[in-house]
Homo-oligomer: A and B are copies of this chain.
Amino acid sequence: MSQSQLVSERKSTGIDGGPAQRLPRTDNGTERHDAIYRSISDAVIEHRLKPGARLREDALAEVFGVSRTGIRKILQRLALEQLVTLTPRRGASVTRPTADEAKDVFAARQMVECGLMDEVAKRITEDNIRELRNLARQERDALRSGEQSTAIKISATFHERLAQLSGNGTLAEFVARLCSRSSLILAVYGNSGHLGCETHDHDELIQLLEEGHGKQARDFMDRHLKAIEASLLIVEEAAEVPDLYRIFGS
Q: A interface vs B, CB < 8 Å?
A: 30, 73, 76-77, 80, 88, 100-101, 104-105, 107-108, 111-112, 115, 168-171, 174, 178
Contact = CB atoms under 8 A, between A and B. Distances in A.
B171 A104 contact: yes
Given A112-B112, A115-B111, A170 B104 contact: yes
Contact of A108 (B77, B101, B170): B170
B108 A168 contact: yes
B108 A171 contact: yes
29 contacts: A30-B88, A73-B76, A76-B76, A76-B77, A77-B80, A80-B80, A100-B169, A101-B169, A101-B170, A104-B168, A104-B169, A104-B170, A104-B171, A105-B170, A107-B168, A107-B170, A107-B171, A108-B168, A108-B170, A108-B171, A108-B174, A111-B111, A111-B112, A111-B115, A111-B171, A112-B112, A115-B115, A170-B178, A174-B174
A49 B217 CA distance: 44
A54 to B, nearest CB: 20
Contacts of A100: 169
A183 to B, nearest CB: 15
A78 B111 CA distance: 26
Contacts of A105: 170
Contacts of A178: 170
Most buried by B among A100, A105, A108, A169: A108
A107 B77 CA distance: 26
Given A73-B76, A108-B174, A111-B115, 14 more contacts: A100-B169, A101-B169, A101-B170, A104-B168, A104-B170, A104-B171, A105-B170, A107-B168, A107-B170, A108-B170, A108-B171, A111-B111, A111-B171, A112-B112
Contacts of A77: 76, 80
Instruction: Report, nearest first, the 7 A-B pairs whose CB atoms are least far apart.
Output: A104-B170, A104-B168, A111-B115, A108-B170, A108-B171, A80-B80, A104-B169
Nearest to A79: B77
